[in-house]
Chains A and B, each alone.
Chain A
Amino acid sequence: MADRPSLAEEVRALEEIVRRLEQEDVDLDAALKLFEEGIARLRRARETLAGAEQTVQSVLADASGTLRNTRVDL
C-alpha cells in the first residue's frame, strides 16, 4: 500500500489535473502530458475501487507483544 499513492491522493491529483486543463492556458504538449498522467491516475483509482472483498481479521497482541491475526467469521 505504501509504495503506491492512496485513492485519496489519486483523486486529489486528478482534481488538480482537471482544474489545470480546464482553467489554465497550458500548451498542447503540457496538456497532453497532464492528460496522460490523469489517465494513469484514473486507471489506478479504478483498480483500487474494484478491489476484492477482504476478510475480517482479529488482531491480538500476545504476552511478548507480538501481533497475531486470526480470521473472524461473522
Chain B
Amino acid sequence: MTLPLPFGPAGLDPAEVWSVSDLNQAARALLEQNLPPVWVRGEVTSFKSYASGHWYFTLQDGGAQVRCVMWRTWAQRAKGRPEEGAEVHAFGSPSLWEEKGEFRFTATVVLRSDQLGQQQQQLEATRAALARDGLLDPSRKRSLPRYASTLAVVTSLEGAVLHDIVTVARTRWPAVRILVLGARVQGADAVSELVRALRTVNRLDADVCIVGRGGGAREDLSAFNDEKVCRALAAVTIPTISAVGHESDISLCDLVADVRAATPSNAAELAVADQREVRAAVDALALRLAGGLSRRTRLLSERLARTADRLESEMEGVVRLHRHRLERIGAQLDALSPLGVLERGFAVPMSLEGRVLRRRDEFTPGLRYRLRVRDGDALARVEEA
C-alpha cells in the first residue's frame, strides 16, 4: 500500500516548497501591512520586565488573550509600569514573532484606563473651552495663499519632519524661503516652546505657517492638545496648516489650524505651489495675451481692408470718368489737328528745314522741298515758278 502524496504524478517542484522562515515572514508581512496601529483595551497579566529594559506581558479580556512586547525605547517613556491585573489601553501594531511563530502585539504606549479617562476628560474640557470662544468654528478658517514665497515652520529641529517639509517645498518651489522656529514637541518644555515659537511667527514676514510634530513619540499629542498651544496657534495672523496628527488620531491643534494636512510632506504640498504648474499657467496667459491683441488687430485690419475695398471702387469710378473725358477731348483735338487735314488727302509743302511753304514766291525754280502727306514725307522739286 502506498500513501497518497499531496502532489501530482509529475512530482514536486522544489520552488513551490516554502521554508518555515518563508512562511512566517509572509505571515508577518501580511499582518503588518493589513492591520494598522490600533488602540487595544485589556487586562495586564504575566508582566515581566527584563534587564534589557524590554517589557513582556499579556493582555486579555474574558474571551481572548494576546502576547505583547514593549521595547526599551518605548518602555522608558512610559510613566510607570502597568500593574498586574490593571485594565490598560495599549497602542501598538499587531505583528508576528518569526523565530517563535507567535502572534504578537508590539506596544508603544500603555496607559491605565482610569488615567486615560482623566486625559480624555481634560481633552474634552479644553475642546469645549476652544469651541466656546469660536476657535473651532469652520467660518474662521482662512484659505491658503496661492503662491506662498515664505514659509514659517514650527517644529522640532530634530527628526524627519523638517527635512520632509523642506524637501517637498523646495522641489515644488525652489525659491521658497523657509524660516524654521524650533520647538520641542514633547516633554515638559514642549508647551512653552511651542507657544513662544507660534508667537514669533507673527513677527515674521511669512505667507503661511506649518505646525508639525516630529522627533517624538507618534502617540504623544499632549502638547498639541494643550489649550495654551491651541490659543497661540489660533492667534497666528497668517494661514496655518497643522501636520500634527495622523489619520487615526486628531489633535486639537488640527482642529484649530486653518487646514489639516495628513503628513508633513502633504503640508508642504498644500503650502507651496508647484512651480511647473504655475509656469504652465503663466505661459498659457502669455499666449492668451498675444492672442487677445492679435484678435484686436485682426478685427481692425479687417475693417481697414473693407474700407480700402470701398476706396478702391470709388477710385475706379473717378478714373473711369476721367478716361471718358480724356477720350472726348482727344477726339476734339484730333478734329483740329492739321494731321486730320492730311487724313482727308491734303498735303503740306515744307522746306527741308521743316518750314511750311505758304506763298507762291517761296517756290523758286529748282527748289527741293518736302511734301508731307498722310503717312510721311515725299521729296519734290520746283520745275518752274
- B289/A17 in contact, CB under 8 A: yes
What number of B residues sit within 8 Å (CB to CB) of A? 41
Given contacts A6-B147, A21-B293, A22-B292, contact A60 B286 (CB under 8 A): no
Contacting pair A59 B179 (CB below 8 A): yes
CB nearest neighbor in A for B175: A51
* B295 within 8 Å of A (CB atoms): yes
Instruction: Report whether A1 and B205 are in contact in the complex, using a CB–CB cutoff of 8 Å.
Output: yes
With A and B bound together, what is the CA distance between A59 and B154 in angstroms?
Answer: 10
Interface string of B148-188 (1 = CB under 8 A from A): 01001000010000110011001000111111111000000
B275 CB within 8 Å of chain A: yes
Answer whether residue B355 sits at the interface, using C-beta atoms and an 8 A cutoff.
no
Q: Known: A35-B293, A67-B203. Is A53-B170 also a contact (CB below 8 A)?
A: yes
Instruction: Please pick, from A1, A15, A56, A61, the residue contacting B180 in the complex, using a CB distance under 8 A.
Output: A56
**What interface size band does chain A fall in?**
35 or more
Report the minimum CB–CB distance from A50 to chain B (whole Å). 8
- CB of B196 closer than 8 Å to a CB of A: yes
In the bound complex, residues from chain B placing their C-beta under 8 Å from that of A50 are 175
Q: Mark A16-55, 1 if CB is under 8 A from B, else 0.
A: 0110111000101001101100110010011011111110
Given contacts A7-B147, A11-B147, A74-B162, contact A54 B292 (CB under 8 A): no
Q: A1-B205, A18-B285 are in contact. Are A57 and B296 (CB under 8 A)?
A: no
Interface of B, helix, strand, loop or mixed by DSSP: helix
Contact yes or no, B163 A42, CB < 8 A: no
B182 lies within 8 A of A60 (CB): yes
Q: Which of B188-206 contact A (CB under 8 A)?
A: 196, 200, 203-205
Q: Is the CB of A51 within 8 A of B182?
A: no
Q: CA of A58 to CA of B157 in the docked complex: distance in angstroms?
A: 9
B278 is an interface residue with CB less than 8 A from chain A? yes
Asked if residues B163 and A74 are in contact (CB atoms below 8 Å), the reply is yes
* B154 CB, nearest partner CB in chain A, Å: 10
User: How far, in whole Å, are A28 and B292 apart by their CA atoms in the complex?
Assistant: 11
Number of A-B contacts (CB under 8 A): 114
Q: A51-B175, A53-B175, A59-B200 are in contact. Are A42 and B180 (CB under 8 A)?
A: no
Contacting residues, chain B, for A1 (C-beta < 8 A): 149, 205
Report whether A38 and B147 are in contact in the complex, using a CB–CB cutoff of 8 Å: no
Q: Which residues of B contact A60 (CB under 8 A)?
A: 181-182, 200
Q: B300 within 8 Å of A by Cβ? A: yes
Q: How far is the CA of A17 from the CA of B293 in the complex (A)?
A: 11
**Is B297 at the interface (CB under 8 A from chain A)?**
yes
CB neighbours of A38 from chain B (8 A): 285, 289
Q: Mark B271-303, 1 if CB is under 8 A from A, else 0.
A: 000010011011001101101110111001000
> Can you list 18 A-B pairs with a CB-CB distance of less than 8 A?
A7-B147, A8-B146, A8-B147, A14-B282, A15-B285, A28-B296, A28-B300, A35-B289, A35-B292, A39-B289, A48-B149, A49-B282, A51-B174, A53-B175, A54-B177, A59-B152, A59-B179, A74-B166
Query: A-contacting residues of B (Cβ < 8 Å)?
Result: 145-147, 149, 152, 157, 162-163, 166-167, 170, 174-182, 196, 200, 203-205, 275, 278-279, 281-282, 285-286, 288-289, 291-293, 295-297, 300
8 closest A-B pairs by CB:
A21-B292, A51-B175, A31-B296, A7-B147, A38-B289, A35-B293, A18-B288, A53-B174
Contacts A11-B281, A59-B152 aside, 7 further interface pairs with beta carbons under 8 A come to A6-B149, A11-B282, A35-B293, A53-B170, A57-B177, A60-B200, A69-B179
